[in-house]
Amino acid sequence: MKNIILAFLLGLFIVQASAAVRLPSIIGSHMVLQQQAKVKIWGWSAPAEKITIQVSWDTTTYHVTASRGARWITEVKTPVAGGPYTVKIKGSNEIILDDVMIGEVWLCGGQSNMEWSADQGLKQSKDEAPNATNKNIRFFYVPKSTSSTPQDDVKAQWVVCNPEDMLHFSAIGYFFGKQINAVTGYPVGLINSNWGGTPAEVWTPEEIIQNDHDLRNASEKLMPSQWWPHIRGEAYNAMIYPITNYEISGTIWYQGESNVGTHYGYQRLFTNMIDSWRKAWNKNFPFYFVQIAPYTYGDNHINGAFLREAQTKSTSFPKTGMVVVSDLVDNIKDIHPTLKKEVAARLANYALGDTYGVKGLHYKTPVYTSHSVEKNKIRINFDNVPTTLVSKGGEPTDFYIAGADGVFVPAKAIIEGKTIVVSSTKVKEPVDVRFGFTNTAMPNLFSAEGLPVNLFRTDK
């Protein structure tokens, strides 16, 4: 009889414990909630359990009842940036979340160049670490994981920015967040969800690729690796889907190196990925990304340029922006350029100018818009040139010109204000121009405001 009673009590305890209100890990103390928004608070409990939520920034009490499936979700209004605050969630048990900030939340995604930190020997992060105590920056580091089906939660927690955790966090993410916080004064929450070596297919819902003949064929050409996943959707299911209820301001992204071999499908893949994320969040948030850097891919010396071209074309997708980093490379034989702080600054300037409306910033790189043939020369016109073009260290480099035969030869380029005039004595009747269109090109042409001119080709 005694054993029966003990078993009953143990079973009752297990049932009560399993029925206790619990939260996903991304809803926790030290988190940053998106300001002036209806943010979702959600979790699990006993079926039909009545739950109340109280927040210290106003007097509203929010009520929600769990479903028969033991899930619950509700929306809470947030004020302007500030804090710290507390959030109390009460059902059969009570959870108190403290040191909650209201501010701006950014997702930092991609492959190794976004993941790169002091753990990989990055000197900039190591040098910054002693100064990295900042209560207005918070980290949430999504662990590497895969799944064949969408998951509910991840195993992580919010931490206040400190020298030790900063060393393990995305360098670009940290420096980006630091600049956003410094300029706006808003607390910044950074969600680190990236994985070195990963192609964009693994970050895209599987059904999108499966239902698209071209994307499916391209994904089947991906090479397996022991270091990172290659199966479509598996990182999305485990590392993105579980946080899609969490309100964000936008995404910064650095990826593409692992898709160079299938560059012909990247624009379609990438924009579908962006679209799928926005639909999952039910928000048309800004998506700012880094064009892949010059690198010796060891193929036909041009596939990297094709991938950069696909990224450039992707900027026609709504609310996207691209930063060019062809001048921020210290070694073209290293796929991981070390100047991450400078890359982060360009992303931050883009966000500050485009999302936060900060005036006086020049954050859009010059891009080709049109050309015209003038006898034996071709004049190139650009957008995003506020004053004039300049070349550093001599005449503009990496220009090539071709006639009707399509054979490109090195060209002489002369700056005329906001335009470039290109010619060659070897091409009497020019038709097309290419600029910086190789894997490793590091051209010396910039806007006077200091941003490198993006690569382009006028031929198709």
pLDDT tens for 63-97 read 999 999 999 999 999 999 999 999 999 999 999 99
Can you give the pLDDT at residue 9? 43
Check if the beta carbon of residue 125 is closer than 8 Å to that of residue 166: yes
CATH of 2-100, one of 3.40.50, 1.20.950, 2.60.120, 2.60.40: 2.60.40
Collect all residues with Cβ–Cβ distance below 8 Å to 335 and sequence separation of at least 6.
112, 113, 257, 293, 295
Closest CA to 320 of 277, 361, 271: 271
Note the pLDDT tens digit of each residue in 426-456: 999 999 999 999 999 999 999 999 999 999 9
Quick: pLDDT tens for 129-174: 999 999 999 999 999 999 999 999 999 999 999 999 999 999 999 9
pLDDT, residue 16, reads 43
Residue-range domain boundaries for the chain: 2-100, 103-354, 367-457
Residue 14 has a pLDDT of 41
Report the interhelical angle of 303-314 vs 266-281 (nearest 10°): 40
Average pLDDT over residues 298-326: 95
What is the predicted pLDDT for the residue at 300?
Answer: 77
CA angle (398, 403, 405) in 5-degree steps: 115
Question: What's the gap between Cα 206 and its chain centre?
Answer: 20
Contact present, 164 and 186 (Cβ < 8 Å): no
CA distances from 322 to 41, 308, 378 (A): 32, 10, 27
Rounded Cα gap, residues 325 and 321, in angstroms:
13
User: Is pLDDT of 402 > 60?
Assistant: yes
**Cα 295 from Cα 307, distance rounded (Å):** 12
Inter-residue contact 203 to 230 (CB < 8 Å) = no
pLDDT at 293 over 90: yes
* pTM exceeding the 0.85 threshold for the entire prediction: yes
Averaged pLDDT, 22-32: 98
Q: How confident is the model at residue 8 (pLDDT cuts 50, 70, 90)?
A: very low
Query: E strands along 241-352, which residues?
Result: 250-254, 287-290, 320-323
Q: How confident is the model at residue 401 (pLDDT cuts 50, 70, 90)?
A: very high
Fold observed for domain 103-354? Rossmann fold (3.40.50)
Q: What pLDDT, on a 0 to 100 scale, did the predictor assign at position 6?
A: 47
pLDDT, mean of residues 19-29: 96
What average pLDDT does the segment 302-312 reach? 97
8: phi then psi, degrees, rounded to nearest 5 = -65, -45
Q: What is the dihedral of CA 17, 21, 25, 29, to 10 degrees?
A: -110
* Residue 25: closest CA among 116, 162, 155: 155
Q: Is the pLDDT of residue 17 over 80?
A: no
CB atoms within 10 A of CB 335: 18
pLDDT of 3 reads 54
Query: In this predicted structure, what is the pLDDT of residue 1?
Result: 52
What is the percentage of the chain residues whose pLDDT exceeds 90?
94
pLDDT at 19: 77
